[in-house]
Structure 1
Amino acid sequence: MPFANYKFPEGILDHARKEEIIHRTTAMFVEYFGEEVRPYTVVLVEEVADGGWGRADETLTLEKMGLPPKRT
């Protein structure tokens, strides 16, 4: 079963962008493995709270990455 797990800072993706990621990822798996994998493809789009993740021993925030604060 093809599986993709994307993690994004909370609030930077709206519903339409999440849906686009799911559709495009599914299309990529189908292109690579064939149409028979479509019903078994799982795409998980997760949002991580601001400051809830890091890289190279540094906690990352939207501000540190130069991104606008999350949408409310």
Structure 2
Amino acid sequence: MPFINIKTPEAALSTAQKTEIGHRLTELIVEYFSEAVRPHTMVLIEEVRDGGYFRADELFVLPEAYRAE
């Protein structure tokens, strides 16, 4: 079973964007492994709360300009 796990800052993606990512990644996996894997492919998009991780040794908070509308 192909499993793709994406972690993204909370509120960085809209529901429509997450849906598109799920569809496109599933299509990519099917291209490589065949149509037989489609029903077994899982795409998990995890949203990490602001202040929930560090980047470049600093606490990361998503800038307002990058938040989904």
1:70 positional shift: 4.2
Structure 1 segment 17-56 matched on structure 2, within 5 A:
17-56=17-56
Pick the structure with more helix per residue.
Answer: 2
Can you list the C-alpha shifts for 1:38-64, whole angstroms capped at 9, x where unaligned?
00000001111011012343321113x
Tell me, which stretches of 5 or more residues in structure 1 are unaligned?
A: none
Runs (4+) off by over 3 Å: 69-72
Tell me, which stretches of 5 or more residues in structure 2 are unaligned?
A: none
How large is the Cα RMSD of the aligned pairs? 1.9
Matched residues, number: 69
Q: Distance in 2 between matches of 1:22 and 1:71?
A: 17
Question: Larger RCO: Structure 1 or Structure 2 (Cα < 8 Å, ≥ 6 residues apart)?
Answer: 2
Quote the residue 2:2 is aligned against: 2
Can you list the C-alpha shifts for 1:7-37, whole angstroms capped at 9, x where unaligned?
1111111110000010001000000111100
Q: Distance in 1 between matches of 2:13 and 2:41?
A: 21
Quote the residue 2:58 is aligned against: 58
Q: Distance in 2 between matches of 1:51 and 1:5?
A: 20
TM-score of the two chains, using structure 2 as the length reference: 0.85
Change (3 A) 1:53 1:40: same
